[in-house]
Chains A and B, each alone.
Chain A
Amino acid sequence: MKYVTEYRDAALVQGVMERIRRLVTRPWVIMEICGGQTHSIVRYGLDQMLPPEIELVHGPGCPVCVTPLELIDKALAIASRPEVIFCSYGDMLRVPGSGRDLFSVKAAGGQVRVVYSPLDAVEIARQNPEKQVVFFAIGFETTAPPNVMSVLAARRLGLKNYSILVSHVRVPPAMEAILSAPANRVQGFLLAGHVCTVMGYWEYLPLAEKYRVPMTVTGFEPLDLAQGLWHTICMLEEGRVAVENAYARSVTLEGNRAAQETIRQVFEECDRTWRGIGVIPMSGWWLRPEFAEFDAEKRFDVEAIRPQESPICIAGQILQGQKKPRDCLAFGKECTPEHPLGATMVSSEGACAAYYRYGR
């Protein structure tokens, strides 16, 4: 496949890794932001090809992992209502709230549908005017352009029965939270290539400068990741701070302007709670007042529930690069992908799930 197979060339990956081994003189801790990258790194064994001086820690960029329990409970309450068709990306169905998940709501007769695109949810609303169709709009900057477009499409079609339950988060404030924490260990970052495809990487320049941390925009194939590591380690070894782009076939400095403008038209910034981490100021998006009629939290009066997290789970520290999955006493014992106790075991993009699946 074009733009895929070329970036899985094992010999080339080996070659770049060998150069990294020659280059490294000291220990460095590098964080990849995105859960998709975590998955690729562990799946292709890139962590094991690196010299022992390089430690990779795994960032908070897994939308399923960081969606707070409280919002999942709200989703469950809304999905259980008889007049509602609840639409979601497939990844969210297995995520347990306090006690149950969307699958069990579906099994109990609730109308829960997996959609590929939010436009599919709009289409379901158009075809079912007697029902209330709610879309679970979760994710980072990558799903924001599709999710806001569904709202604009619903408004254009004059739909009164479409709304979204918004749980949107943004990468730069989370990185700032990680970097400013006293326990921070991260010295360099691999930036999430598809977040930067939408947003560009101009937002990261002041962050790199302020915390003196080099960053590299990085893609998802093994060779992309090797290249991202190469750039980051070169900067660390040279004592240079910059934001470099190792995913230039997809990412430009300014990103997709049309997508950014459409996001700003529909969403505004707000404080968000990150599961396992807590509230990060201005780290998310919600609907602007002009679009309040599409806000599922306003349309359905669901009381705020205060759910309990498992007390042994250290997912919050893992998502901030302070701990690794193996540091958790429950890993692979009480906690497995079949019976997840915490956020990072639930999603295949979560660090605990990747470590479990690929035997780290």
Chain B
Amino acid sequence: MCLGVPGKIIEKYERNGMPMAKVDFGGVVRETCLAYVPEAQVGDYCIVHVGFALNLVSEQEAQETLALLRQIADLESELGPPPG
């Protein structure tokens, strides 16, 4: 239940006065409520739980994290094989 997955907003509309969107999860499209991320735009990625977008995924933070992790993992090759 808590494994929210990131999906891409492909269409925005309104239903019963609620901001809604079609969100694409790698080919599976589901209706998603945008009430908690009113600033969302088509093309944004969001984490969705039980039909609600809980945030917008930050592209910049994602890139920075990946760069940092590559650095952590890479130091490995600089240091050579582990002792023992």
Using a CB–CB distance below 8 Å, which chain A residues touch chain B?
Answer: 1-4, 6, 11-12, 14-16, 18-19, 21-22, 34-36, 39, 61, 63-64, 89, 91, 116-120, 139-140, 142-143, 145-146, 149, 153, 156-157, 192, 194-195, 197-198, 220, 223, 226-227, 230, 246, 248-251, 256, 258-259, 262, 349
Contacts and interface: CB of A to CB of B under 8 A. Distances in A.
B74 interface: yes
A146 B52 contact: yes
| In the A-B complex, the 4 residue pairs with the closest CB atoms | A15-B73, A117-B51, A249-B62, A248-B61
Nearest to B4: A194
Given A36-B2, A149-B52, 13 more contacts: A2-B8, A2-B45, A3-B45, A4-B6, A4-B26, A19-B75, A35-B2, A36-B1, A139-B2, A146-B51, A194-B2, A248-B65, A258-B36
A172 to B, nearest CB: 16
Interface of B, secondary structure class, is mixed
Contact of A250 (B38, B55, B76): B55
Interface of A, secondary structure class, is helix
A14 B76 CA distance: 10
Contacts of A250: 47, 55, 57-58
| Chain B contact patch, size range | 35 or more
Nearest to A63: B1
B76 A19 contact: yes
B51 A197 contact: no
Given A19-B72, A349-B2, A142 B49 contact: yes
B56 to A, nearest CB: 9
B40 to A, nearest CB: 12
In this complex, the member of A36, A117, A249 whose beta carbon has the largest number of chain B beta carbons within 10 angstroms is: A249
Interface string B53-78: 01101110110111001101111100
